[in-house]
Amino acid sequence: MDAGGYAAWAAAVTSVATLVVTTVVGGRRENRLWAREALTDAFVAFLTASWQHSDLAKVSATPPDTSSAEAMAGQYGEMRNQLTRLRLLSPPDVVRAGEALLRLQRTVQNAGSASERTEALAAAAAGRHDMVSAAQKAMGLRRPWGAAPRGLRSASTTRGLPEPRQPSGSARARAGEVS
């Protein structure tokens, strides 16, 4: 075989190797992107259902009338469905936080008095915070929920400004923000 044949053969081998490496690396990258998108969608849907469940509980009578109870049951069912997706896609810490929030939402729904419901709603809000923190950690977003980046935090505290916080429930709802 002459030098031109060897060069053609080497070019073909190089092309095949490049194709294999690109396919393997690209396939893994696409798989990670898909999993991250699916996980984000499941987090958002789970937390949206939780917020809607709590919002329904806030405006319904204690105990809730039939239509309110059915609406809350629908949101609870949506949370269960999304928790199944989270079980498939997320680490155990996220699943535990989701299960805890699901139980807290059931407590909200079953509260017998206005004071019990208020306490249950506060506990559910804390559970949502824990869920968001676990989700952020699972997705590599390790900054605590509601905290400013380190550079901004130190700048605000040196001037005596309060730490940044998430908006209140009504402001969050107006802004269309889901947590």
Query: How far is 50 from 86, CA to CA, in rounded Å?
Result: 14
- Number of alpha carbons in the 13 Å side-chain half-sphere of residue 136: 14
Per the domain annotation, does 151 fall within a domain? Answer: no
Which range of residues forms the domain containing residue 57? 33-142
The CA radius of gyration of the chain, in Å to the nearest whole number, is 24
Per the domain annotation, does 40 fall within a domain? Answer: yes
Q: Which of 105, 3, 130, 11 is nearest to 49 (CA)?
A: 105
- How long a stretch of residues is the chain? 179
Q: How does pLDDT run across 29-86, given as a tens digit for each residue?
A: 888 888 889 999 999 999 999 999 999 999 988 888 889 899 999 999 999 999 999 9
Per the domain annotation, does 152 fall within a domain? Answer: no
Tell me the pLDDT band of 179, cut-offs 50, 70 and 90: very low
Per the domain annotation, does 37 fall within a domain? Answer: yes
- Six-digit token string for 46: 């789970």
Total domains present in the chain? 1
Per the domain annotation, does 14 fall within a domain? Answer: no
Q: Give the pLDDT score at 61.
A: 85
Q: How does pLDDT run across 136-148, given as a tens digit for each residue?
A: 998 888 665 555 5
What's the pTM? 0.67
Per the domain annotation, does 149 fall within a domain? Answer: no
Q: CATH number, domain at 98?
A: 1.20.1440
Per the domain annotation, does 132 fall within a domain? Answer: yes
Task: Give the relative orientation of helices 92-110 and 66-89 as an angle to the nearest 10 degrees.
Answer: 170
- Which strand (E) or helix (H) includes residue 154? helix 150-158
Per the domain annotation, does 150 fall within a domain? Answer: no
Tell me the pLDDT band of 154, cut-offs 50, 70 and 90: very low
